[in-house]
Homo-oligomer: A and B are copies of this chain.
Amino acid sequence: MSPTAARITAVDTYDVRFPTSRELDGSDAMNPDPDYSAAYVVLRGDTADCPEGHGFTFTIGRGNDVQVAAIEALRGHVVGRSVEELCADPGSLARDLIGDSQLRWLGPEKGVMHMAIGAVVNAVWDLAAKRAGKPLWQLLADAEPEWLVRQVDFRYLTDALTPDEALELLRRGRQGAAERATALRENGFPAYTTSPGWLGYSDEKLTRLAAEAVTDGFTQIKLKVGADLTDDVRRCRVARSVVGPGIRIAIDANQRWNVDEAIDWTRALAEFDPYWIEEPTSPDDVLGHAAVRKAVAPVKVATGEHVHNRIVFKQLLQAGAIDILQIDAARVAGVNENLAILLLAAKFGVPVCPHAGGVGLCELVQHLSMFDFVALSGTTDDRVIEYVDHLHDHFLDPVVIRQGHYTAPTAPGFSATMRPESIAEFTYPGGTFWAADLARQESDTQKGEAA
């Protein structure tokens, strides 16, 4: 059987959970105790030479099983498809999944079902990039503008961006792309770090990690805020005194506030010169973000990690509600929808600074920013990708940070492949870590009852 005859024969899922809540890594004003998790999917073909396609939805623990069930509900759309046709046009699968008229009722285009579609579509892109022998950013940067435009679903977008405008943006983006690809391979893409700023960390840990961040070459750090104003004032003062005036400090409220609170709280922290306020209020509140932005300037407003689709991003741009657009690689319906969002940002001239962290989000999203730089926006000015130093070792092709920059991946694929031994250890509840942990809890309970 020739490689071109390969078909998808299996859509395997895994409920992978890491016990991160025990260290307070990732704690913020809305998420005090996340267990970083992945509803993980592997597409397998029926020929020995067909690479696997890997993808996942990031969650923070409970509900990862619901997310896995949602991915499994898509299996019938994928099994039996020609691998060659899938890879030649991932957009056609994305459209079929989004357009399933019965599943659509569960969104539309939002929440658990939409993220499940993102996991499957991203797995197809991983497969396509592996087959092409290129890292995904390069596959996208090498693609014809006409083909890229066909990968975008323009439904509900044409009042802000037409296919013709998208084509024009992509054609312009190709000018100088080869030089930028060379520069990217030499210098990488700028990163910022959230590692110093988790709410659960002491001032001592904040001080040490902020100083390390500067030493490591980062020019921006981020602090979580929003639980207690007195604490926030103290922590912002500590951070500013450690990093000095030349380093940007972003602050992140993780949706904690009403609109009025967001304005008052941000103004109260303005003396520490925050670069942006991130997620000041509900990610659904376009008009609320617009009101906050107007009131807190020159502090910039950033959002996006929980913005559920391109239609909300369109409105955030139309309403002038954000200064910084934060894509997430695994929240929307995969690469195709993020391509739409990158095009919208380019049209409106708003810089894209992706959300990352969690499990594998850094690995994925770097490819999208690198494509954006090489073949769309053409610049890294005011562009930074979030970096958090958690859980990278669980991936076969982990991100590499040098002097505050993401190094351009060279391995074929989307950097999405988790190590098989990590999946075996952290699959919930039957993996070796959780089986032992649950047995220990059971034993402790019995001892408690006996005592």
Which of A's residues lie within 8 Å of B, judged by CB? Answer: 30-35, 59-63, 65-67, 69-70, 73, 100-115, 154-159, 255, 258-260, 281-288, 291, 306, 308-309, 311-312, 314-315, 318-319
Contacts and interface: CB of A to CB of B under 8 A. Distances in A.
A106 B112 contact: yes
A356 to B, nearest CB: 15
A59 B105 contact: yes
A66 B117 CA distance: 13
B110 A308 contact: yes
B156 A288 contact: yes
Find the residue from A70, A154, A314 having the highest chain B CB count within 10 A.
Answer: A70
B111 A63 contact: no
15 contacts: A30-B104, A31-B105, A59-B102, A63-B73, A66-B73, A66-B106, A70-B112, A108-B255, A108-B282, A110-B284, A110-B308, A155-B258, A156-B285, A286-B315, A287-B319
Given A106-B111, A156-B281, A66 B63 contact: no
Given A61-B102, A158-B259, A114 B111 contact: yes
Contact of A35 (B102, B155, B283, B284): B102
Contacts of A113: 63, 66, 111-112
A32 to B, nearest CB: 6
Contacts of A288: 156, 159, 311, 315
Nearest to A100: B62
Contacts of A281: 156
Find the residue from A66, A155, A258 having the highest chain B CB count within 10 A.
Answer: A66
A139 B139 CA distance: 61
A103 B63 contact: yes
Contacts of A309: 284
Contacts of A34: 101-102, 105
Contacts of A287: 286, 315, 318-319
A50 to B, nearest CB: 28
Contact of A73 (B65, B101, B284, B308): B65
A252 to B, nearest CB: 15
A102 B285 CA distance: 21
A283 B33 CA distance: 33
B73 A62 contact: yes
Given A70-B112, A101-B34, A105-B59, A282 B259 contact: no
A105 to B, nearest CB: 5
A158 B286 contact: no
Nearest to A27: B101
Given A34-B101, A104-B30, A106-B112, A291 B63 contact: no
Given A69-B65, A69-B66, A108 B283 contact: yes
Nearest to A76: B62
A41 to B, nearest CB: 15
Contacts of A286: 286-287, 315
Given A31-B105, A106-B112, A112-B113, 18 more contacts: A31-B101, A33-B101, A62-B100, A62-B102, A63-B70, A66-B69, A66-B112, A106-B111, A111-B112, A156-B281, A157-B258, A158-B258, A159-B260, A284-B309, A285-B314, A286-B286, A286-B287, A287-B315
A27 to B, nearest CB: 10
Contact of A59 (B61, B62, B106, B314): B106
A386 to B, nearest CB: 16
Contact of A70 (B30, B66, B291, B315): B66
Contacts of A255: 108
A311 B284 contact: yes
A162 to B, nearest CB: 10
A322 to B, nearest CB: 14
A157 B259 CA distance: 8
A307 to B, nearest CB: 10
Find the residue from A34, A63, A113, A281 having the highest chain B CB count within 10 A.
Answer: A63
A34 B287 CA distance: 34
